[in-house]
Structure 1
Amino acid sequence: MAPYTGYIPEGRYLQLSIPVHLKDKALRLAQDVPSAGHQKINRTKNRLRDYWWYHCSADIKSYINSCAACNSMKKSNDPTPRHPLTLYRASNPMEQVHLDFLGPLPKTKSGNECVLMIVDQFTKWVGCNPLPFQTAEVTAAAIVREFFSRFRFPLQVFTNQGRNFASGLL
């Protein structure tokens, strides 16, 4: 069969109709291959503009919304207010303490995968506590057991406001 060479009105173009059993393959090729780059919905629709099937816009949207790689790179819609970055200077030990996690790292024989870092801003003292998880419960227990019980409660605690630090437990 010869290709269509007739008149196409301005602003119109031909679309190839995709059978239902091939639509998943078309979506994978437009989204998952390395050259596709996991683009957003509009760019993926533009990539597939020469192809058509029933409910293609809805299928593209649901495919991208369910893509694990895209969801892992998405910005969070967390409405939790964040404190603006400011410069603070400590004038005494234990006035300001900073907490953060290092990891995930390769699992040790004892099952630890991350390190809780505790730094006193004035003295620059660094405490490193290996932990198996970064959950709020494990984090709180390590801070109390390894830091607050050995020293005292600091006047201010600074974190990166991660979920394990911003929980109600801490």
Structure 2
Amino acid sequence: MKVMGETHEGICGAHQGGRKMCWLIRRYGYFWPTMMKDCINYSKGCEACQRHGPIQQAPSVPMNPVVKPWPFRGWEMDLIGKIYPASSQQHCFIIVATDYFTKWVEAKPIKTTTSQEIITFIEEQIIQRFGIPESITTDRGSSFISRDMLDMAETFKFKLLQSTPYYAQAN
């Protein structure tokens, strides 16, 4: 106990962890069969280390399960804009899609928010690059719930889901 006490908190001690303390004691020429276990228990029981050591905090809320178990299977989409002033090419909206699993973001500036622009974005930026998703979640914007979008979802056989409007946490 005296050797562990001097090594851990004595004149040359720096309140190191059990493994480091065991290594130092062996370096000083001491050995006993249960030295590693004893050093770990000693350092865990040090009141100063517990009081002033780094605080390990558990999350304050339960962890949320992964929404999709594979990359690029589920996307969420939304529009940003209208942006003032418009860009030099007159783009004043941005369409953004985020993969639920990897948090990969695809974004593209667009001039209008027609359903045809959104269909083109889905085909070029999502389907052609990452494959057909299982689902795309959007808010209830008129361009996202149009007949053309529903037909496209039916053609490619993916689910078009809508979240609660004006409630960003749902999407």
TM-score range, shorter chain: 0.3 to 0.5
Structure showing the higher helix proportion among its residues: 2
TM-score (norm: length of structure 1): 0.47
**Greater Rg, structure 1 or structure 2?**
2
TM-score (norm: length of structure 2): 0.47
